Amino acid sequence: MKIFIEKEALSYALSQEIVKNFNYQVIESYESFDWGLRPYPDLVSQGKGLLFVMKFKGKFFRKCPGTKNYFCCGYKIFHFAEGCPLDCSYCILQCYFNRPGIKLWANVFEDGFKELKEVLLSAKAEKRILRIGTGEFADSMALEKFCGVSEKLVEFWKEVNPFAVLELKTKVYVNEDYFKRLPSDPRIIFAWSVNPEEISKKEEHKAPSVFKRLESAELALKYGFTVAFHFDPIVYYPQAKENYPALLEHILKRFPHEKIAWISLGTLRYPPELKEIAEKRFPQTKIYSFEFVKGLDGKKRYFIDLRNELYKSLAKVIKDLGKDVTFYFCMERKRSWQEVLGKSVNSSEDVAGLLDRVAENLCTYGITNVHLQ
Ligand code: SF4
């Protein structure tokens, strides 16, 4: 990884740690960086090996953008970085910003943590539960060796003692030494995105196998944290209806349910412009050659019947083994909730309420399913 630090970002704590531990080059600004004359998909590939440490001038704390016309979960984001060194063929970040390269916000500890503390304290004073994550525009753990933001956040949670859970969403393997040095806290949810090996091997480039990810999840539990799993995106392929349920069954048998915060389900969806970029970057991928329909939010997704078929293949496992675990859909509507989970969920507020109850249990009792029926 080549590291560039913007001149105006050099004095911040995060930059100073990088200066001590890595080779780097100081540049005038990200905007003036010379990318050469290349088509955009090539810039995305080139950008995977370039890390820019820069001052962030926007809001660190924000609402998850969600999507129009589908139910969202009301999650809040602590925005510490943009981009990811892993390279999934379905990754929406390939077309999200039109700004290649991985960007870390140098002023995250000085300005970001200050902003976050104010938000956490005011929510606590109002007895308002918060669910916060860092993995919306970046993988929460993949940049950890450069920035240590997740480690600092876990320590910050102990210090501020908020009425809030923090979800660190990742695909990477996190080793025992890392967990060992953190203060244990059930409000911290280490969450892994999972896919059967067939998809993971072909589409999640540079990511460790799903079994390595699950090993990390066991370590997270061993050191006093909560875990979560995201079946997202669920990708259709001929064995999908056998392999996804088998993976879910494995997870439900392997992990204690009171320590699983939630499991999300969401089939592949993407903005139309992603297809061209991804197919140029990954000529072998077949995931975009299926039939898609334009959804109510403008994103391409499988027809509802296929989406429900995929979800229903999981329903039996959920019914038999996962009744005491909170499942939710990321960006679906009433019908999927009713038909697959047997739940009457009519709005984003209903989804948020469901997850807030789990978060409250974690903050109050340290386990997830105290009040689950
Ligand atoms: S791990 Fe997540 S953020 Fe990173 S490339 Fe894959 S989908 Fe994108």
In this predicted model, what pLDDT tens digit does every residue of 90-128 receive, in sequence order? 999 999 878 899 999 999 999 999 999 999 999 999 999
Give a yes or no: residue 43 inside a domain: no
Alpha helices in the chain (DSSP H): 13-21, 40-47, 93-96, 112-125, 144-147, 149-160, 176-180, 197-203, 210-222, 240-254, 272-281, 304-321, 334-336, 348-364
Cα 225 from Cα 179, distance rounded (Å): 9
- Which residue range is the domain that position 217 belongs to? 56-81+127-364
Q: Bridge partners of 191?
A: 169, 228
Asked whether 6 lines ligand 1 (CB < 6 A), one says no
Number of domains in the chain: 1
Asked whether 3 lines ligand 1 (CB < 6 A), one says no
Give a yes or no: residue 36 inside a domain: no
What was the pLDDT predicted at 373?
A: 42
Residue 216 banded pLDDT, cuts 50, 70, 90: very high
Cα 115 from Cα 186, distance rounded (Å): 23
Q: Give 217 or 331, the one with higher predicted confidence.
A: 217
CATH code at 347? 3.80.30.30
Give a yes or no: residue 352 inside a domain: yes
Asked whether 194 lines ligand 1 (CB < 6 A), one says no
Q: Is the peptide bond before 233 cis (omega within 30 degrees of 0)?
A: yes
Q: Pick the atom of ligand 1 nearest to 204's CA.
A: 6
Test site for ligand 1: of 77, 86, 140, 169, most ligand atoms within 8 A of the Cβ:
86
In degrees and rounded to multiples of 5, residue 264 shows phi and psi of -100, 155
For the entire predicted model, the pTM comes to 0.96
In this predicted model, what pLDDT tens digit does every residue of 175-188 receive, in sequence order? 999 999 999 999 99
In this predicted model, what pLDDT tens digit does every residue of 224-250 receive, in sequence order? 999 999 999 999 999 999 999 999 999
Give a yes or no: residue 25 inside a domain: no
What was the pLDDT predicted at 370?
A: 62
What was the pLDDT predicted at 338?
A: 87
